[in-house]
Amino acid sequence: SRSMHMHRQDVKKDWSDHALWWEKKKTWLLKTHWTLDKYGIQADARLLFTPQHKLLRLQLPNMKHMRVKVNFSDRVFKAVSDICKTFNIRHPEELSLLRKPRDPKKKKKKLEEAEEEALELEGPLLTPGSGSIYSSPGLYSKTMTPTYDSRDGSPLSPTTAWFGDSPLSEGNPSILAVSQPISSPDILVKMYKPQSLLDKAKINQGWLDSSRSLMEQDVKENEVLLLRFKYHSFFDLNPKYDAIRVNQLYEQAKWAILLEEIECTEEEMMMFAALQYHINKLSIMSSDNHMNNSEKEVDEVDAALSDLEITLEGGKTSNTMGDITSIPELADYMKVFKFIVFGLISLNYREEAHGTPAHQMNLRGCEVTPDVNISGQKFNIKLLIPVADGMNEIWLRCDAEKQYAQWMAACRLASKGKTMADSSYNLEVQNILSFLKMQHMNPDPQIIEPITTDINPECLVSPRYLKKYKNKQISARILEAHQNVAQMSLIEAKMRFIQAWQSLPEFGITHFLAKFQGGKKDELIGITYNRLIRMDASTGDAIKTWRFSNMKQWNVNWEIKMVTVEFADEPSLAFICAEVDCKVVHEFIGGYIFLSTRAKDQNESLDEEMFYKLTSGWV
């Protein structure tokens, strides 16, 4: 009788999540209407009857860990989409999963485990897709009532999604939406910092294939994977609906700067540190007062935030109708050239103001790099202009911020094939000016707040500056820079940080080691949201640039792992991927092509099949 009772208990167990896994062929047998014979299974095949949902430990962009139950039989793209819905992160197509990079200097596993424990935040166990705390489809609709206050990112009433019975509210309602200061400089010291471009390229080997499942890619239960923004093209970043998305994006930018994954000047570093310091202070206040913020009106700050809309293509269209037949021109006496006129998308320079152009250069597809030192009043623009056998290097030297902003904006638009008549030109100029303004040092020491012990410069700047200056010197400079951002609201400061990150010359370049056809040595291929860059592996200098807008098609020879890209009016590009599956590179190209086609008024669900076609080699 007892054994019968136990048998009945077993029968009651829910086996609906279980499926058969064929280890030898790395295949899930999910088509239950197929016979085993149709799958090609012989009598000696070893099949595992196992749950499809398994535990993962996800390290979020803020470096905290969450335990999440994920479907190991879903394609990674679908699994990430479910995770993002659970976390209330819109546009999951911009994120993916990355294997944790191994620090070659740390041979002992114990050191890595100690580093992990320092950042560990074992949150509640979350199961995407079932009982999601944000299950309302309205969260993905633009017509819905705002979920968050756009001034400080706090939840608007009803606040039950945050402070009610949801698992994330246990003990800490601000895990995802509110930035938490780095608790100790030791954390920064212990973390892996890529030392070279080759190190960065090796990290990018770890991106998982979006079109295959976790199990197919040898991901083990309870493994740590990194959830990161993979494609640096952030669509409709809106403070009303995206408090968590904005915060995680800010955190990814913050850690990229602190770990020197992206280069920035000393003045820029102090500006980023000042924004961090400001955000840390406001975040502590916001956590203390979050329940009092629920009755604020969102619309009051919409106007103030409108100029912060982050679009890499340059923002909103203008309602003012000027003379649409005339193309604006910039004409200035420059120190590098005699006299320069900026017309459509070309640069002309003359010996005299009214003379005929001595030379003309088309800037479409050029690389535009700032070389600015505000305290030294240096405002240079470096242009690498494509020619048949590589790139011509041209330098423009501006006299003042306004002139620099106008020319920089014009060059950026021209590199994309746009003219100064484009509606985004004025917004681009304003964004550049505001970026420069934040880096100004305040000459009046009387209005600077006294240096307090809460500033912790070791947690606000990258290690190289700690070696270069004393802590007191860094603290003073951070407080000086803080004067430029002290009046910003919390969400505005985060948006400004993200925007400043986007303005850095190296922003959004994903590096891969490659050997180009006709080349003898290993080089780098850099992939961004709108172009491919052939780069010198030791210096990172651009050798040649190709725009996606000029691309006809691309394909992969899977046997020799060669990627070939054909263009409308220039020779095709071919390279073999070194140390990485060419599928990863192929997916980056396809992913960016897909993201560039997203409709500006997109409310409907994502066209997953089109993404798979573009990233899986079907087209």
Average pLDDT over residues 460-480: 92
β-partners of residue 544 are 534
Task: Report pLDDT for 459.
Answer: 92
Confidence of residue 535 (pLDDT cuts 50, 70, 90): very high
Lowest mean pLDDT among 182-186, 363-367, 439-443: 439-443
Contact assessment for residue 237 and residue 309, using Cβ atoms and an 8 Å cutoff? yes
Contact assessment for residue 514 and residue 573, using Cβ atoms and an 8 Å cutoff? no
429 pLDDT more than 60: yes
- Residue 118's nearest CA partner among 183, 62, 174 is 183
For 551-595, how does the pLDDT look when each residue is reduced to its tens digit (9 = 90+)? 998 888 888 889 999 998 888 999 998 888 889 999 999 999 988
The full 3-state SS of 405-435, as one line of letters, equals HHHHHHHHHHHCCCCCCCCCHHHHHHHHHHH
Contact assessment for residue 72 and residue 219, using Cβ atoms and an 8 Å cutoff? yes
272, with CB counted inside 10 A (0-12, 13-18, 19+), is: buried
173 pLDDT more than 50: no
Task: Report pLDDT for 612.
Answer: 81
pTM to 2 decimal places: 0.83
**Highest mean pLDDT: which range of 145-159, 320-334, 537-551:** 537-551
Average pLDDT over residues 492-515: 94
Q: What percent of the chain has pLDDT over 90?
A: 43
In angstroms, rounded to a whole number, what is the distance separating the alpha carbons of residues 150 and 155? 9
Residue whose structure tokens are 């172009």: 531
Helix (H/G/I), strand (E/B), else coil: 77 = helix
Average confidence score pLDDT of the chain: 80
For 335-344, how does the pLDDT look when each residue is reduced to its tens digit (9 = 90+)? 665 566 666 6
Average pLDDT over residues 497-508: 94
Average pLDDT over residues 356-373: 83
DSSP-derived secondary structure for 423-476? TTHHHHHHHHHHHHHTTPPPS-GGGSPPP-TT--GGGTS-HHHHHHS-HHHHHH
279 pLDDT more than 90: yes
In angstroms, rounded to a whole number, what is the distance separating the alpha carbons of residues 394 and 381? 8
My answer on whether omega of the bond before 158 falls inside 30° of 0, hence cis, is: yes
Domains and CATH numbers, the chain: 510-617 (2.30.29.30)
Task: Report pLDDT for 174.
Answer: 52
275 pLDDT more than 70: yes
Contact assessment for residue 524 and residue 514, using Cβ atoms and an 8 Å cutoff? yes
